[in-house]
Amino acid sequence: MRREVTLRDVAELAGVSSRTVSNVVNGYANVTDRTKERVQRAVEQLGYRPNVLARNLAQGRSGQIALVVPYLDTPYFAELLQSVIRAARISGYNVLIDQTDGDPEHERGFIAHGSRRLLFDGVIFSPLGLDQQALADRDPALPLVILGERTSDGTFDHVGIDDVAASRQATEHLLDLGRQRVAAIGDQPYATGEAAQLRTRGFREAHTARGLPVHEDLIIGTPRFNRPDGARAMARLLDREDPPDAVFCYSDLVALGAIHTIVARGLRVPEDVAVIGYDDIEDGAYSNPSVTTISPDKEWIATTAVERLLLRITSSTPPPGLELRAPHRLIVRESTTGRARRG
Amino acid sequence: MRREVTLRDVAELAGVSSRTVSNVVNGYANVTDRTKERVQRAVEQLGYRPNVLARNLAQGRSGQIALVVPYLDTPYFAELLQSVIRAARISGYNVLIDQTDGDPEHERGFIAHGSRRLLFDGVIFSPLGLDQQALADRDPALPLVILGERTSDGTFDHVGIDDVAASRQATEHLLDLGRQRVAAIGDQPYATGEAAQLRTRGFREAHTARGLPVHEDLIIGTPRFNRPDGARAMARLLDREDPPDAVFCYSDLVALGAIHTIVARGLRVPEDVAVIGYDDIEDGAYSNPSVTTISPDKEWIATTAVERLLLRITSSTPPPGLELRAPHRLIVRESTTGRARRG
DNA sequence: CTACGCTTTTGCAGCGCTGCAAAACACAGC
DNA sequence: GCTGTGTTTTGCAGCGCTGCAAAAGCGTAG
């Protein structure tokens, strides 16, 4: 590979110093139109392209942010990723992506002190295997924005929807339909299951607010929020003597898995069992039946996360850690109100 | 932010030259156990971490590969991305991700001469808006692996399945079921629609091989391979006087959209219309009905693409451009053979 | 003509690491 | 003790860019 064109080559051809070329290329400082033009001509003539690596080293920054999520084949994250990339690009940042499979060690590696020093300037992180404590032990100098349910300790921003309120709203929707035995699929009663626990809380609140009993035995845990887990959990519920007549699923994937089981057993959705999901992924809108869901504003989440992260990266004094609540709304589809409802 | 620990700091503490520290850290050359140990102690004591940026600049490589795809919320790409990341990490590479939305300008930017020089060492690229010509005009020095249907011109590798054979197989499956009027959704009769055209070819071949007529008017084009387009195309087909009794969809998403429309009109899948998809995304396995599909070996595609790309990156003389055919198989599910078939 | 303030341009050092080739060392053989 | 060979360590230059501060240029005022 032959040597690439450098700033100095351009400088020589244009008859100016390399520093001036740099100024032109980056639009820094004042440059006379005459010089600017001369430089630009030389740049074109030689086909000069800045060496990003060298620039990064000199500036001590990488121009990259990392998005770290547990699973990429989860449509929710895929959709989010898309918006994050778009938002980052607007500000000239590239997105480095990684998937942790929820492995705590792997997750720690990303936020631990200097583990990947300078590969990225900041991280948008959706932790799964790390509890609050592990988060606190991180490299304090790394700009960080957390997605999902982890309360901010003041040193990072947290972006998410109000899980309790949203879950309550979802459950209330089922109760409004007159359902008597409402189940919940997705509880995770352990340290790393904060998000799930908040949803369970909302589920309970909806019942107690109406003076209804919570069917504790209808709350089913799942290790992950995917289709197979949803399908399995639903099978357990249907195997009972007194199966539920409605299910609040902690993700749309879980809901799709659950519906799959219900239909496979010859039961109808929503007539026999009404199902509501969470996340509003595209699949849910096109499935049969389409899935009623809680829709978080993903675009808002992505742009806000990027915005806050870049602010953190560029600030000399770290901004306070904010708790940012994204808007959400209930989208009613066939899985709770049946075909009739379709527009 | 205080100054970070550098190689020189470690060298000073350990009483050796910075070059020796470098040798120890990277496992280069011979180093006596005694020195090695002393250096390692110093590294730990100071909490030294190599500066990736500086290393990259000195080595003239970035340790990153880019994966450029048209859409990230397409499950097929999301699933692929996952495997690519895994394969790259094994070799110590990070994955930079970008989505082009199929925009030709944007796509060109990634492979044009030096546009992002050194940000990545090579690209795995799934072009959508670029035709063969535009591909040929790329920076010849950039290691490149193309996914999907673009014939290699010998300067890059191409990884994909045999679209014609797979499509023929899919169509034959429908004909085997005794269907008389088989439609196809997804044709793209223009320069950038090569993949679609190959599928249409397979569709035709299946008919002619059996001496059956191809219903040309049942071949419907779609700009994209997503649910809405599938739903719309299916609506057009059902609006006809003589609707089809089977449909070959050029992606699972298209199939899901089509099924959605069929069911919404009160028709049954597969009794009234049998549907087959392409890609084998997880959604298809859990939908109602589950979708019969052509399943490309994504893991094979991802690992092969990464492998070839890294080979290209590390070779001093560019290896020949290969045409690599990934295995694929037909997975029969409910959308063609009905519930009975389920295990 | 000199001084002054402003704009434009420059030179240099250095970001932190690695490639290269030379230097230092260690040890065996004569 | 000296030479030769192989191993270990070192010094230096340089990757290509930017930060900094000084230098040069330029126009106006005194």
User: In A, which residues are within 8 Å of B116 by CB distance?
Assistant: 52
- Most A CBs within 10 Å, among B2, B7, B81, B118, to test the A interface: B118
Q: Which nucleotides of D are covered by protein (CB under 7 A)?
A: 7-12, 14-20
Min Cα–Cα distance to chain B from A121, Å: 12
CA A83/CA A87 separation, integer angstroms: 6
With CA atoms as reference, the chain A residue closest to B281 would be A73
Q: Which nucleotide is nearest to A31 (CA to C1')?
A: C8
Under 8 Å between Cβ of A184 and A218: yes
Residue with tokens 């269907």: B179
CB atoms B53 and A52 under 8 Å = no
Mean of the pLDDT values across residues A248-271?
A: 95
Token code pair at residue B196: 């679609």
Chain A residues whose beta carbon lies within 8 Å of the beta carbon of residue B288 = 259-260, 263, 287-288
C-beta atoms of A54 and B52 within 8 A: no
What b/e sequence results for A118-136 when a residue is b if at least 16 CB atoms lie within 10 Å of its CB, and e otherwise? Answer: bbbbbbbbbbbbbeeebbe
Q: In the predicted model, what is the mean pLDDT of chain A?
A: 89
pLDDT-based confidence at residue A60 (cuts at 50, 70, 90): confident
Interface test with A, best of B48, B52, B275 (most A CBs within 10 A): B52
Q: Say whether the peptide bond before residue B270 is cis (omega within 30 degrees of 0).
A: yes
Q: Report the distance separating Cα A149 and Cα B47, nearest Å.
A: 31
> Measured in whole angstroms, how far is the alpha carbon of residue B221 from the centre of its chain?
22
Token duo for residue A27: 């639009």
B103 in A contact zone (CB under 8 Å): no
Angle of CA points B204, B251, B126, to nearest 5°: 105
pLDDT at site A267 = 96
| pLDDT tens per residue across all 343 residues of chain B | 456 788 888 888 888 888 888 888 887 777 888 888 888 888 888 888 888 889 888 988 888 999 999 888 888 998 899 999 999 988 889 999 888 888 888 888 777 765 566 789 999 999 887 777 777 778 788 899 999 877 777 789 999 999 999 999 999 999 999 999 999 999 999 988 888 999 999 999 999 999 999 999 999 999 999 999 999 999 999 999 999 999 999 999 999 999 999 999 999 999 999 999 999 998 899 888 999 999 999 999 999 999 999 999 988 788 899 999 999 999 999 999 987 544 3
* Tokens read off for A181: 């035995």
The H or E element spanning position A58 is helix A52-59
Instruction: Of A27-41, A161-175, A285-299, give the lowest mean pLDDT range.
Output: A27-41
Q: Which nucleotide is nearest to B31 (CA to C1')?
A: D8
Interface test with B, best of A118, A124, A249, A298 (most B CBs within 10 A): A118
Percent of chain B with pLDDT strictly greater than 90: 55
Distance A26 CA to D25 C1' (A): 23
* Closest-approach nucleotide to residue B56, Cα vs C1': C17
Environment class of residue B126 by beta-carbon count within 10 Å: exposed (0-12), middle (13-18) or buried (19+)?
buried
Residue A36 has pLDDT above 90, yes or no: no
Domains detected in chain A: 7-50 (1.10.260.40), 63-160+298-325 (3.40.50.2300), 163-296+330-341 (3.40.50.2300)
CA of B25 to C1' of C21 (A): 21
Residue B134, H or E segment: helix B132-136
Instruction: Tally C-beta pairs within 8 A across A and B.
Output: 145
List the one residue out of A152, A162, A158, A167 whose CA is nearest residue A201.
A167
Which of these, A116, A96, A119, lies nearest to A108 by C-alpha position? A116
C1’ D10 / CA B18, Å: 9
* A342–B119 C-beta distance less than 8 A: no
The set of strand C positions with any atom below 7 Å of a protein CB reads 7-12, 14-20
DSSP percent split of chain A into helix, strand, coil, nearest 5: 45, 15, 40
Count of residues making up chain A: 343
Cβ <8 Å between A119 and B52: yes
Among candidates A99, A117, A286 on the partner chain, residue whose Cβ is nearest the Cβ of B227: A286
Chain B residues within 8 A of A99 when measuring between CB atoms: 82, 85-86
